[in-house]
A and B are shown apart, each in its own frame.
Chain A
């Protein structure tokens, strides 16, 4: 039985109240506070720290020297700093010294060779899409300011006297070369793959300081005097039984690719082949957990004698 639960008077009251509430809500929304003044302006703080992120630039190496000395007005540099932080800092760090994904520009060879943007500006226009740098359509006046900031920052970075993010070769002379040689040939197991008179002959003339230290610990990192020659090698057994060996060009959980003996790129889903990968750097990785602090510096001291 569908007896009415509300009388017409009550219903009218409900309707009125409902209407009122809707009106009040609408009114309240209309009363939202007006936009506050932004209160922005002024100078971005000087980058007192350094670039963040697990992949850092090789800061110990002496940055490539600017080929053509350039000076810029302070106002332009300051404007460039602001623009840089807003447009480029996402990748290159607020101080142009490297960030979460982009390299340290004060150590860039391109920047060193640039004269008033002749190399930087075209690159910014086209981007480096393969490396994740998007093309930019910033106006030329803004780009000129950014170029000024990058060069100014680079000059400052070149003249830094150890007040930040620098490691001098002289800092790294605490090891004992003789003990390092023993470790190299014995407990460290380095001699299993390396030889002081073979692949490492003259090493210390090619690499010094932090750069040598980093490559000693793990030669597979990017941007430390060139990629390691020690690329992983895969042996791929195809369903047909055929076996192909080549340097690993790509590998993830689902796919593997090699560059074969003829230089061709070949890839397979990992589910369809049997892949065996030999990574010559595995020993370096395993050693990271084994070194004592003395071992590290002793081996480094020994390597520094290989001139």
Chain B
């Protein structure tokens, strides 16, 4: 029995009584702090109700109050101090005027108008891996936090009280979770991490009401099954948040690198489905199709980066596409109805492929596999890009990515074994660039030097403003059309992806500088 069913029953009565006015009143009365999953299909302007803001992963906002002409007037509306010296890496979510931001073991509910803390929940001390956290998810009156020891905790949005706590994967085996879950109707898709150990790539669908597991999808063979198509590879964790096409009813998710990580000979073949973009039915957990970004990866280049959904023209025909700037330095355009490749092209320094095969996957050059005496390879382990979110601007057709041209040296010898990392690699040099790609050709329309390795994601808005951060503690706004700098502020290392929303007629942009959240808006008299 659910609230929705009650509502439906009641809606029927309303219709019978021919009283749409009462229905509207009831909708308002329903649950002031909750989130109806249907809202995610068309998020209102006063919300950022899921990790990417909506299901498309575009991080593009229709809000138009902040423009290239006035962005230099942005002023701090409020800041929120987590008190943590570690930086915020997560993307906040916002529902009904309340913002939820996370760090490992912690979630804060804060007033999106004032930055005032409403409540804070701290998960009990645990031995999980505290590497970072990507963000929370919300369903009706419940907000969800994944934990360093791979649990999923359901909290009451009103006071942060624990409703239930379930194990997603066994931390003792080496799993942890930083994942911002993806809600699709009554399925909460929760991913895990773990490439220090040879573990199967695991994605779970959890019932957001009860915490019960609905299905498990394995990107590599589950425990106790033959390793047939993976060629002996484990890994392929789906640690980043996927995207969703409601018309096709498919979830798109990127899979991580294989284990053993640098030891290629231990796992011959392509190693499906690691380093891949996968389309999964959210109701059944069945794979609809897969596309491998890095066949037989030996450089830790997962394809977990955001699979962004784009509807538009490609080579003269209207297409439903999924596009990704992948950690291996390649930009991919796929037909998202069937996974067929439309374009494969490098967007960052990449010297590891001999060409592209008929399916659109780069062909790894065996000479660039890690070796006893070292191989100089681009990208480095950090990749051509990474977890920091890109943005797609439909107005200009630009796909804006925090890219890196980087070299690393990769070593493997038999003595390194075949468990976990199984090798050694070292970054040599890297240079960060915000790159704007023409989504149809992959050509770089402009690039903006960010002075070092980037850690900030990207947000674009309808008025042609691009928000991101550089490697030197600045958040900045660029003109989307040409990458020219419009505004900046040195707020500390920008380690997350900016979000935007409108409350009380004012547009806010919220971004993290170090362990502090900053909410920017135009001065009041201009906004009103």
Contacts and interface: CB of A to CB of B under 8 A. Distances in A.
Nearest to B421: A49
Nearest to B406: A54
Interface in A58-114: 58-60, 81-82, 85-87, 89-91, 94-95, 99-100
Contacts of B6: 21, 24-25, 28
B171 interface: yes
Contact of A33 (B163, B451, B488): B163
A291 B376 CA distance: 9
Nearest to A132: B85
A259 to B, nearest CB: 18
B375 A293 contact: yes
B429 A221 contact: yes
Nearest to B427: A54
Interface string B131-173: 1100000000110000011010010100000111111000111
B413 A171 contact: yes
Nearest to B5: A24
Nearest to A135: B85
Contact of B26 (A21, A50, A167): A21
A252 B130 contact: no
A253 B148 contact: no
A45 B19 contact: no
A176 interface: no
B317 interface: no
A86 B130 contact: yes
A193 interface: no
B351 A39 contact: no
A6 interface: yes
A2 interface: no
Contact of A100 (B132, B195, B211, B367): B132
Given A29-B141, A85-B128, A86-B148, A36 B164 contact: yes
Given A21-B7, A34-B164, A54-B453, A59 B424 contact: yes
A294 B474 CA distance: 41
A171 B411 contact: yes
Contact of B130 (A89, A129, A161, A288): A89
B381 interface: yes
A246 B10 CA distance: 76
Interface string B2-14: 1100110010011
Interface stretch (A116-124, A196-204, A211-219, A235-243): A211-219
A44 B127 contact: yes
Contacts of B261: 49
B69 interface: no
A297 interface: yes
B443 to A, nearest CB: 20
A296 B376 contact: yes
B38 interface: no
Nearest to A166: B424
Nearest to B23: A14
A297 B7 CA distance: 71
Interface string A43-57: 111011110111110
Contacts of A21: 6-7, 10, 26
A49 B195 contact: yes
Interface in A250-271: 251-254
* Residue from A29, A220, A296 with most neighbouring chain B CB atoms (10 Å): A29
Interface string A139-182: 00000000000000000000001111111000111100000000
B491 interface: no
Given A91-B86, A214-B428, A254-B488, A28 B1 contact: yes
Contact of A36 (B29, B166, B423, B430): B166
A49 B237 CA distance: 15
Interface residues on A, range: 35 or more
B113 interface: no
A204 B13 CA distance: 87
Contact of B151 (A38, A54, A165): A38
Interface string A269-307: 000000000000000110011010100110000000000
A166 B428 CA distance: 16
Contact of A43 (B172, B378, B472): B172
Contacts of A25: 3, 6, 30-31
A25 B30 CA distance: 8
Interface residues of B, number: 99
B419 interface: yes
A293 B376 contact: yes
A214 B375 contact: no
A58 B428 CA distance: 11
Interface in B189-205: 195-197
A56 to B, nearest CB: 5
Contact of A164 (B424, B427, B470, B488): B424
Interface in B18-41: 19, 22, 25-26, 29-31
B85 A161 contact: no
A126 B451 CA distance: 31
A18 B505 CA distance: 31
Contacts of A4: none
A40 interface: yes
A127 interface: yes
Interface in B401-436: 406-409, 411, 413, 415-417, 419-431
* Residue from A6, A36, A285 with most neighbouring chain B CB atoms (10 Å): A36
A54 B129 contact: no
Given A127-B85, A288-B376, A22 B29 contact: yes
A229 interface: no
B165 A18 contact: no
A192 interface: no
B425 A56 contact: yes
A133 interface: yes
B17 A10 contact: yes
A132 to B, nearest CB: 7
* Residue from B148, B373, B413 with most neighbouring chain A CB atoms (10 Å): B373
A202 to B, nearest CB: 24
B526 interface: no
A166 B422 CA distance: 10
B428 A221 contact: yes
A168 B262 CA distance: 17
A42 interface: yes
B376 A161 contact: no
B429 A218 contact: yes
Contacts of B408: 54
A60 B14 CA distance: 73
B421 A28 contact: no
Interchain residue pairs A-B with the least CB separation, the first 8: A134-B85, A54-B382, A48-B420, A49-B196, A252-B472, A49-B421, A49-B420, A44-B127
Interface of A: 5-6, 10, 13-14, 17-18, 21-22, 24-25, 28-29, 32-40, 42-45, 47-50, 52-56, 58-60, 81-82, 85-87, 89-91, 94-95, 99-100, 127, 129, 132-134, 161-167, 171-174, 210, 213-214, 217-218, 220-221, 251-254, 284-285, 288-289, 291, 293, 296-297
9 contacts: A36-B165, A44-B172, A48-B196, A81-B127, A90-B86, A134-B85, A174-B372, A221-B429, A288-B407
Given A18-B10, A55-B427, 16 more contacts: A6-B17, A13-B13, A21-B7, A28-B1, A28-B6, A38-B124, A56-B427, A59-B424, A86-B127, A217-B407, A217-B428, A221-B429, A253-B472, A285-B431, A293-B376, A297-B373
